[in-house]
Chains A and B, each alone.
Chain A
């Protein structure tokens, strides 16, 4: 019960912050809308540019959960609350576990909301295997939330880890073809873009939606699970209660 109470308060903290709601709901919608509208000539009527940007930018926002989790974990005003939990009869690992879970749930709800809007307003295609995509989304949110918290544990500072994280995410996103596909630039850039894990995700999602191949999605999911376990392990090793706050 005590554990659930902490989780509930973390969730409440996230849902009552307007800036994060904006970042999780309005920002992806705005990006998809603007980029899709501007590149509408690149696609036709059957498959719209919203279908491309819907997938890529959703993946981008899922990875951006890392920044929200980092924020929810080590923001100045939350640090004090964390310090109190350290001295309460709750396992201190639960402090970061609850942040990971609450950030993942918060973003999952926000992103599902975005997808519902996309499907209704932009006729966004999801294919027949949306259950696998949903699983990918859940695991992806968990992984990126864990990544954000793990960076915080390693660097002991929220702003520094957020800067590094957003830089890395934006770089891999640009390389992976979130904003525009690099494949048209020839072989070299295609190979380069496969360096980015985001490219793998995008490719597997498209393969699942348009070619009915589900195996790549499950490969992605297992990669995320491995990443999640590594992140949690790193958190456990570097998290020393009050020393980190």
Chain B
């Protein structure tokens, strides 16, 4: 077992380029999340055409930019501005691609003094959501060595040598958990040392990241055991990106109604986000979520084990 450990580290060290790349990505994602969570959110960004007859507009909830010429339609499509406001026949006219309800609400907020609506997301939640995808990618990278062993028939040799396959899998998943957990947590630790607001305590992060890395490793091991080396990277990474986006880990921009909304609630990333947002006062829903994640981890690992054993038997 010790030999396997040192072998793993030796092989990983041959691939320093990727190690550094993933470390940089983790650091980058966390930094981006920190910057993003300190941003002010508002109901809408609006471009107002400058006009002498313009009445005074309230800026409590709306981010207003005064422009001299009419902006490109592209700015509306890419959401630089949600709407363009101009004076037409002594009345405010709103040009927007959004629905009528939005326009009415915007007009109300512009012309009436209201309190600030705050729906700012918790800092810790944003940071955790951002790094979720990268942690899962990291686990995928750390388990490629297992996929390599499987494809090059090294695993068969190891199996024939009498070394227990369960031990082999434990070493590989253990190393993957340890490395992805360590690198992510260390970045947060350094951030904390520099007195940057990271939202949650390091202990809470440790719990969250630990569950996440175990889950990510189980998922990566399963994907590696099911597919060959070439398709694993492609399939697993696109799955990770798709599910992370849908669960709103970066930015919850999706409306959660209908059947798809129901499906999204069952995505593991969504469960993680829910757990992170209620970390200070956990209820039974969150514990059920943890149980759900635990069950998924168990199933993934069982599939990985069975498939690995199968691949050894058939080929030998």
- B255 surroundings in chain A (CB, below 8 A): 38-41
Asked if A167 and B80 make an inter-chain contact with CB atoms under 8 angstroms apart, the answer reads no
Chain B residue contacts of A203, Cβ below 8 A = 74, 78
- Does A177 belong to the interface (CB within 8 Å)? yes
Bound-state Cα–Cα, A203 to B241, Å: 23
| Residue B288 CB within 8 A of the other chain | no
Whether B25 lies near A47 (C-beta < 8 A) is no
A184–B233 CB distance below 8 A: no
Which one of A39, A71, A163, A190 contacts B253 once the chains associate, using CB atoms below 8 Å?
A39
Q: A31-B242, A180-B251 are in contact. Are A186 and B98 (CB under 8 A)?
A: no
Q: Which of A82-90, A105-113, A205-213, A217-225 contacts B (4 or more CB under 8 A)?
A: A205-213
Contact check, A174 vs B250: say whether CB atoms are below 8 A apart.
Answer: yes
* Neighbouring A residues of B238 by C-beta, 8 Å: 27, 166
Is A47 a contact of B97 with CB atoms below 8 Å?
A: yes
Contact (Cβ within 8 A) A177 B78: yes
Distance A71 CA – B235 CA, assembled complex (angstroms): 13
Residue of B nearest to A179 (CB): B245
| Complex Cα spacing A163 to B147, Å | 14
Q: Kindly report which residue of chain B lies nearest to residue A181, judged by CB atoms.
A: B79
CB within 8 Å of B: which A177-232 residues: 177, 179-181, 183-186, 188-190, 202-203, 206-207, 210-211
From B144, B230, B251, give the contact of A75 (CB < 8 A).
Answer: B230
With a CB–CB cut-off of 8 A, which chain A residues contact B97? 43-44, 46-47
Give the distance to chain B from A84, nearest Cβ to Cβ, in Å.
21
Q: Which of A35, A41, A163, A206 makes the CB contact (< 8 A) with B245?
A: A35
Question: Does A162 sit at the interface, judged by CB under 8 A?
Answer: yes
Known: A31-B242, A44-B96, A184-B79. A163 touches B18 (CB 8 A): yes
Report if B231 contacts A (CB, 8 A).
yes
**A162-B233 in contact given A27-B238, A31-B242, A38-B246 (Cβ < 8 Å):** yes
Q: Assess A184 versus B96: contact at CB under 8 Å? Given A159-B230, A170-B237, A211-B73.
A: no
Compute how far the CA of A185 lies from the CA of B79 in the bound complex, rounded to whole angstroms.
10
Chain B residues with Cβ below 8 Å from A71 are 230, 234
* B260 and A19 within 8 A (CB): no
Q: Is A52 an interface residue (CB 8 A)?
A: yes
- What count of chain B residues pass the 8 Å CB interface test? 43
User: How far is A46 from B294 in the complex, measured between Cα atoms in Å?
Assistant: 45
| In the assembled complex, A67 has its CB within 8 A of some CB on chain B | yes
Measured in the bound complex, the distance between the Cα atoms of B73 and A75 in whole Å is 44
Tell me which residues across on chain B come within 8 A of A211, comparing CB atoms: 72-74
Dominant secondary structure at the B interface: helix
On chain B, the residues within 8 Å of A160 by CB distance are 18
Contact B234 A206 (CB under 8 A): no
A164 within 8 A of B: yes
List residues of chain A with CB within 8 A of the CB of B79.
42, 181, 183-184
Does residue A15 face the partner (Cβ distance < 8 Å to B)?
Answer: no
Name B1-57 residues within 8 Å CB distance of A.
18, 21, 25, 35-36, 39-40, 45
Residues of B within 8 A of A41 (CB): 99, 255
> If the complex has contacts A188-B35, A202-B78, are A42 and B251 also in contact, measured as CB distance less than 8 A?
no
Chain B positions within 8 Å of A9 at CB level: none
Residues of A within 8 A of B253 (CB): 38-39, 42, 180
User: Judging by beta carbons under 8 Å apart, are B74 and A190 in contact?
Assistant: no
Q: What residues on B are CB-neighbors of A164 within 8 Å?
A: 18, 21
- Asked if A167 and B21 sit within 8 Å, CB to CB, the answer is yes
- Whether B193 sits at the interface, judged by CB under 8 Å, is no
- For residue A134, CB closer than 8 A to chain B, the reply is no
B137 touches A167 (CB 8 A): yes
Given B229, B242, B245, which contacts A159 in the complex, CB threshold below 8 Å?
B229
A10 within 8 A of B: no
Residues A186 and B39 in contact, CB atoms below 8 Å apart: yes
**B245 to A207, Cβ gap below 8 A?**
no
Residue in B39, B40, B73, B78 whose beta carbon sits within 8 Å of that of A181 in the complex: B78
Q: Does A135 contact B (CB under 8 A)?
A: no
What 4 new A-B contacts, CB under 8 Å, besides A45-B99, A190-B80, A202-B78?
A: A39-B255, A160-B18, A167-B25, A185-B36
B-side interface residues toward A, CB under 8 Å? 18, 21, 25, 35-36, 39-40, 45, 72-80, 82, 96-100, 137, 141, 144, 229-231, 233-234, 237-238, 241-242, 245-246, 250-251, 253-255, 260
Cβ-closest 3 pairs across A and B: A38-B254, A210-B73, A183-B80
Task: Offer 16 A-B interface pairs, CB within 8 angstroms, sorted by A.
Answer: A19-B231, A35-B245, A43-B98, A44-B96, A46-B97, A47-B76, A162-B233, A164-B18, A184-B80, A184-B82, A185-B36, A186-B39, A189-B36, A206-B73, A206-B74, A206-B78
